[in-house]
Amino acid sequence: MKFVIVGTNHAGIAAANTILDNYGEGNELVMLDRNSNLSYLGCGTALWVGRQIDGYEGLFYTKPEDFEAKGAKISLETNVEKVDFDKKVVYAKTKDGQKIEESYDKLILAEGSAPIAPNLPGKDLDGIHFLKLFQEGQAVDQELSKEGVDTVAVIGAGYIGVEIAEAARRRGKNVLLFDAEDTCLASYYDKEFSQLMDENLKENGIETHYGEFAQEYLGENGRVTGLKTDKGQYEVDTVINCIGFRPNSNLGEDHLERFGNGAYLVNRGFQTSDPDVYAVGDCATNYSNALQDTTYIALASNAVRAGIVGAHNAAGTAIDGAGVQGSNGIEIFDLKLVSTGLSVKAAKKADIPVKFVDYEDLQLPGFMPEEKNEKVKIRIVYTEEGNRIVGAQLASHYDMHQLIHMFSLAIQEGLTMDKLQLLDIFFLPHYNQPYNYVTMAALSADK
Ligand SMILES: Cc1cc2nc3c(=O)[nH]c(=O)nc-3n(C[C@H](O)[C@H](O)[C@H](O)COP(=O)(O)OP(=O)(O)OC[C@H]3O[C@@H](n4cnc5c(N)ncnc54)[C@H](O)[C@@H]3O)c2cc1C
Ligand SMILES: NC(=O)C1=CN([C@@H]2O[C@H](COP(=O)(O)OP(=O)(O)OC[C@H]3O[C@@H](n4cnc5c(N)ncnc54)[C@H](O)[C@@H]3O)[C@@H](O)[C@H]2O)C=CC1
């Protein structure tokens, strides 16, 4: 059997390794990508730009030779221009214009996503950046090193925007952070949690501008010098756009069924509407165990698992993905926020009647050394009908992030609140309290 994979970043890499490690014998694998590098961990961009890690070298975890050593044919700087789904042929062009045609028995699309670009006047001025590729991280890093680049505007206070705003602040820049919503991280947290991050950003010198829409990039001599919004005009030396991603799905747009946002619609085995074509990662949908429905969540963690499951199915081993909860986390100036499943706001948007319980307590017993102890705030969201756990959020300066995986599993397995109330959670003063905040939150629910 001959497999062709379009896109060799996290989802494509996971799919390729699954095929090579389990079905390599007697089969052929061709991997095509238009980028000059692969496996770049975008999550490291803010750490490197903010000088929290020394450099970017460690942010790549594989290289083309690793796939060639396993018998694959990999071609980078090769753009797939078209797919003939009837003839089952992929048409591509290399950097030096050479045309490539690759037939396939099974095609895996791992085309990923691209940053949404605000279509504003002045968008072609120098000094305006996006933050997806390694090369774009390099450009932002060089920008912040330039003489005279003192004030940075970041448009979008989602995950990328908040992380790069922290990085620019750590580089001593003045940072203005804009978002259309009335708080940061609005897609992932309820306001009671995201406002903790808002306070944290302000305490660390970031100027937040919420409910404010960019209208125009202002410039002189071809270079951005300001940003005009519906509420004001600001002198800035560079602008970084972080207003979300849209799925890359133009290759299949006339042949494959797509989701509302354009992502390829796939089943639980990541098979598209064409039985010989699979789609994995940011270019495809996923199944939400919280919504119990199809969703779109662009995360590397989801891309890797989708690549594994999609590849097994393409190779003939029928397995279903476990579905996702959109578990995610962020740490900014030492404040940690983690969430999984639905916030109350997201549940309302999805017309799922929910209840929630909030609780706040110290992580450790009061007799433990103060410097090791911190308050933790938790919210558990569960359905009105049946008390099924559908979401959780935690915030603290204490590193409680591992807890969110328990809630992720609870949502995946359809756990109800009564099962959580008396769950066996050990007590050790080094780690938690005898009456810990998970147990206490669950017990106080519905009171
Ligand atoms: C700054 C930043 C920080 C992030 N931090 C995190 C994090 O902390 N945790 C997390 O879970 N996720 C994080 N993400 C999201 C994560 O990077 C994405 O979800 C992940 O990259 C998706 O992987 P993918 O392989 O599906 O798509 P992509 O990484 O977008 O890769 C798609 C690949 O397909 C190639 N391609 C597309 N079309 C074609 C074509 N026609 N021909 C040839 N090649 C093509 C592209 O060149 C690309 O290499 C972050 C993203 C960014 C930008
Ligand atoms: N720690 C993590 O898990 C990380 C995950 N990621 C993932 O990468 C993907 C892309 O991240 P982001 O680009 O941050 O997307 P995002 O969806 O997280 O945030 C986009 C932000 O831009 C705002 N916005 C949209 N249009 C706007 C406009 N016209 N003006 C002002 N604000 C506007 C939105 O309100 C939102 O807050 C997401 O799926 C995210 O989950 C990225 C970084 C870190």
The closest-lying atom of ligand 1 relative to the alpha carbon of residue 133 is 53
Cα–Cα distance measured from residue 382 to residue 404, given in angstroms and rounded to the nearest whole number: 15
Ramachandran region, residue 419 (left: φ > 0; alpha: ψ -120 to 50; beta: rest): alpha
Kindly state whether residues 93 and 177 are assigned to the same domain: no
Q: Which of 243, 262, 297 is the last residue of a domain?
A: 243
In a domain, 324, yes or no: no
Mean pLDDT of 281-306: 97
Closest Cα to residue 298, out of 160, 437, 124?
160
With a CB cutoff of 8 Å and minimum separation 6, the contacts of 229 are: 178, 209, 212, 213, 214, 215
Distance 309 CA to ligand 2 centre (A): 26
Ligand 2 close to Cβ of residue 176 (< 6 A): no
Q: How many domains does the chain have?
A: 3
Distance 444 CA to ligand 2 centre (A): 34
In a domain, 322, yes or no: no
Kindly state whether residues 182 and 239 are assigned to the same domain: yes
Kindly state whether residues 94 and 159 are assigned to the same domain: no
Ligand 2 close to Cβ of residue 179 (< 6 A): yes
Kindly state whether residues 287 and 381 are assigned to the same domain: no
Q: Which of 243, 258, 283 is the last residue of a domain?
A: 243
Distance 235 CA to ligand 1 centre (A): 32
Ligand 2 close to Cβ of residue 354 (< 6 A): no
> Which listed ligand is nearest to 181 at the C-alpha?
2
CA atoms in the 13 A half-sphere facing the CB of 231 = 9
| Mean pLDDT (the chain, rounded) | 97
In a domain, 321, yes or no: no
Which tens digit of pLDDT belongs to each residue from 150-207?
Answer: 999 999 999 999 999 999 999 999 999 999 999 999 999 999 999 999 999 999 999 9
The closest-lying atom of ligand 2 relative to the alpha carbon of residue 157 is 37
In a domain, 384, yes or no: yes
Distance 34 CA to ligand 1 centre (A): 13
Looking up tokens 């059997």, which residue turns up? 1
Whole-number pLDDT of residue 51: 97
Mean pLDDT of 358-362: 98
Looking up tokens 């991603």, which residue turns up? 245
Kindly state whether residues 129 and 225 are assigned to the same domain: yes
Whole-number pLDDT of residue 446: 75
Longest dimension (CA), the chain: 72
Distance 297 CA to ligand 2 centre (A): 11
Kindly state whether residues 125 and 237 are assigned to the same domain: yes
Helix (H, G, I), strand (E, B) or coil at 353: coil
Q: How far is CA 398 from CA 112, 207, 328, 377, 426, in A?
A: 34, 25, 17, 10, 18
In a domain, 138, yes or no: yes
In a domain, 202, yes or no: yes
In a domain, 33, yes or no: yes
Which tens digit of pLDDT belongs to each residue from 6-44?
Answer: 999 999 999 999 999 999 889 999 999 999 999 999 999
**CA-based R_g, the chain, Å:** 23
Question: Is the distance from CB of 196 to CB of 337 less than 8 angstroms?
Answer: yes
pTM: 0.96
Question: Is the distance from CB of 112 to CB of 283 less than 8 angstroms?
Answer: yes
pLDDT band for position 447 (50/70/90)? low
Which tens digit of pLDDT belongs to each residue from 74-105?
Answer: 999 999 999 999 999 999 999 999 999 999 99
Kindly state whether residues 344 and 427 are assigned to the same domain: yes
Distance 137 CA to ligand 2 centre (A): 16
Mean pLDDT of 216-236: 98
**Best of 109, 113, 308 to mutate for ligand 1, by most ligand atoms within 8 A of CB?**
113
Beta strands 174-179 and 206-210 are parallel
Which amino acid type is present at position 192? Answer: E
In a domain, 328, yes or no: no
Whole-number pLDDT of residue 361: 98
Q: CB neighbours (10 Å) of residue 152? A: 27
Ligand 2 close to Cβ of residue 332 (< 6 A): no
Kindly state whether residues 371 and 406 are assigned to the same domain: yes
Burial letters 377-390, b for 16+ CB under 10 A, else e: bbbbbbbeeebbbb
Cα–Cα distance measured from residue 131 to residue 158, given in angstroms and rounded to the nearest whole number: 12
Q: DSSP label at 271? A: B
Ligand 2 close to Cβ of residue 158 (< 6 A): yes
Q: Which of 181, 215, 243 is the last residue of a domain?
A: 243
Closest Cα to residue 379, out of 346, 353, 355?
355
Cα–Cα distance measured from residue 112 to residue 307, given in angstroms and rounded to the nearest whole number: 11
Kindly state whether residues 353 and 338 are assigned to the same domain: yes
Annotation says 401 is catalytic: no
Tell me the residue range of the domain where 47 lies.
Answer: 2-114+246-315
Kindly state whether residues 201 and 59 are assigned to the same domain: no
Q: Name all residues whose Cβ lies below 6 A of ligand 1.
A: 6-7, 9-12, 32-35, 42-43, 45, 79-80, 110-113, 131-132, 160, 248, 251, 281-282, 298-301, 303
> Which helix H or strand E contains 441, and what residues bound it?
helix 437-444
Whole-number pLDDT of residue 272: 98
Q: DSSP label at 58? A: G
Ligand 1 atom 6, closest CA? 43
Kindly state whether residues 129 and 211 are assigned to the same domain: yes
Ligand 2 close to Cβ of residue 181 (< 6 A): yes
**Best of 159, 208, 209, 288 to mutate for ligand 2, by most ligand atoms within 8 A of CB?**
159
Distance 188 CA to ligand 2 centre (A): 10
Q: How far is CA 62 from CA 105, 138, 281, 362, in A?
A: 26, 19, 18, 41
Kindly state whether residues 238 and 278 are assigned to the same domain: no
CATH, residue 395? 3.30.390.30
CATH, residue 141? 3.50.50.60
Annotation says 242 is catalytic: no
